Amino acid sequence: MAELKAWAFDLRRIWALGKRWLPATAMIGVVGVGICYLPAFVATEQSPVALSRPPLSVAVTELRTGSVSDFEFTDGLARAVQREYLVFNEGGRVAFLKTNPDGGPLREGDAVKDGELLAELDRTMDDATAKAARAQLESARSRLASAKREWERHQRLVADRAVSRSEAEAQKAAYEQALNDVRAAEAGLDQVAANLGDIQIRAPFDGVVSFVNIREGQYVPGDGFDVSSEKDAARIAPISVINPTAFEIIVELPVSSGERVHVGQAAFVLDETTLTALQQEGYADGSQESLTDVLSEARVGSVSPAVDPSGRSIRTRVVTDQPIDGLRDGTYVTVWIEVDRREDVVVAPVEGVMERSDEFFAYIFDPDSSTVEKREIEVGLFGFEGVEVTSGLRAGEMIVTQGRHRLSDGIQVRTAETRMESR
């Protein structure tokens, strides 16, 4: 085997290598290369050095049985599964924009409820009920603005001990009541205009506002919202809403990789925020055992049955079933897809496996004689958990993980035992 291809690694080793040789802006490349070409971190045998006194110091780890997984590694674009670009069906002046909890107009990040009125264009309503509803809303908004100013003033006075805390609390209650009055007035206007769907925008589902491109008093054209191009839709649609609890990551896999991927397979996601934090703060020894500690769980949702003729790739969608901190709509993320898994196998740490002339071997420590034995081995999968050893090693034996470059068969050593955690 001229080159060993593996799909998992210990991130502390990757980080240390990248920090030494590459600038911070290149660290994502180091992560990708580390995943795709693990041979860089599987040691090759070097000529042994002469035996010296005292004995060489090595670190050893007890071999265990466990599971090992094989992964396909890629990156892709994260998109909210539910996303709507909301438009008016007619043109006109924006007469209403939902009030947010701060008393201001609707903004990005505001939560909305399914069916809630978000915006409405102006239309002359001759009946007295409609006019009264609008007047009541304007009056409620005026009272809200006044109540908010008074509450903020009393907060400052409390800090200066010019008024009592109970007086400030009373003003806060007045502000909250004024806000409730605005909500009630908006609901009243909503009821009056229930049949004005062409000039209204309502929330299509429970979600969060991602873009707002209108304001009260602005004139919008009746035919100015072509959202067929997703690239332009977020910029021109009056309001965009997403559901931030479920995302899909669209990836393009080479044909050879895509043929190994199937619906339902486990996947893992590393978002940009976490990756940036790792680059800026480093990956402190002992803080986390491996990359699995910072990955978020996902699964393969769909695999295209066709090959893209332009890119010779297979489109795959990886979906999340729960919110992921740091994952935002429209960001690129790194994805690992579990394409194979072996259970109850002997697992060796990557640091203990060496390669020379397409053959693999390891040094095994004998605690009775304090010597090491060079052992030829056969390997299977390389995963986050370590290396699958198919023959040559047994669970319970002690494998050398540090100081192995200077060893030769039968040499005497002194050890510092480390522990390999089960996963």
Tens-place pLDDT, residues 89-99:
888 889 999 99
Domain presence at residue 197: yes
Is the dihedral angle over the CA atoms 96, 101, 105, 108 positive or is it negative? negative
Which H or E run contains 251?
Answer: strand 247-254
Q: Helix or strand or coil: residue 384?
A: coil
Please indicate, yes or no, whether residues 255 and 280 belong to a single structural domain of this protein: yes
Please indicate, yes or no, whether residues 320 and 285 belong to a single structural domain of this protein: yes
Q: Are 385 and 72 in contact (CB under 8 A)?
A: no
Q: How far apart are CA 324 and CA 244, in angstroms?
A: 9
Domain stop point among 193, 211, 242: 242
Domain presence at residue 5: no
Q: Which two tokens stand for residue 152?
A: 């903020």
Please say if the pLDDT value at position 169 is more than 70.
Answer: yes
Q: What is the pLDDT of residue 291?
A: 60
Please indicate, yes or no, whether residues 208 and 288 belong to a single structural domain of this protein: no
Q: Which two tokens stand for residue 14?
A: 């990757």
Q: How far apart are CA 71 and CA 338, in angstroms?
A: 5
Q: What is the pLDDT of residue 378?
A: 93
Please indicate, yes or no, whether residues 43 and 136 belong to a single structural domain of this protein: no
Please indicate, yes or no, whether residues 188 and 224 belong to a single structural domain of this protein: yes
Please indicate, yes or no, whether residues 235 and 260 belong to a single structural domain of this protein: no
Domain presence at residue 114: yes
Domain presence at residue 3: no
Domain count, the chain: 2
Residue 92 lies in domain: 83-242
| pLDDT, the chain, mean | 80
Please indicate, yes or no, whether residues 254 and 376 belong to a single structural domain of this protein: yes
Tens-place pLDDT, residues 52-68:
467 888 999 999 999 98
CA distances to 68, 272, 327, 328, 367 from 77, in Å: 28, 11, 11, 10, 51
Peptide bond into 305 cis (omega under 30): no
Please say if the pLDDT value at position 17 is more than 50.
Answer: no
Domain presence at residue 48: yes
Tens-place pLDDT, residues 18-41:
333 333 333 444 444 444 444 444
Which of 63-77, 189-203, 240-254 is predicted with the least confidence, judged by mean pLDDT? Answer: 189-203
Domain presence at residue 193: yes
Domain presence at residue 53: yes
Domain stop point among 242, 258, 280: 242
Q: Which two tokens stand for residue 12?
A: 């502390």
Provide the CATH number for the domain around residue 382. Answer: 2.40.30.170
Q: How far apart are CA 62 and CA 57, in angstroms?
A: 17
This prediction's pTM: 0.61
Q: Which two tokens stand for residue 138?
A: 């304007």
Please indicate, yes or no, whether residues 120 and 238 belong to a single structural domain of this protein: yes
Domain stop point among 195, 218, 242: 242
Q: Are 352 and 417 in contact (CB under 8 A)?
A: no
Provide the CATH number for the domain around residue 165. Answer: 2.40.50.100
Please indicate, yes or no, whether residues 269 and 398 belong to a single structural domain of this protein: yes
Q: What is the pLDDT of residue 322?
A: 81
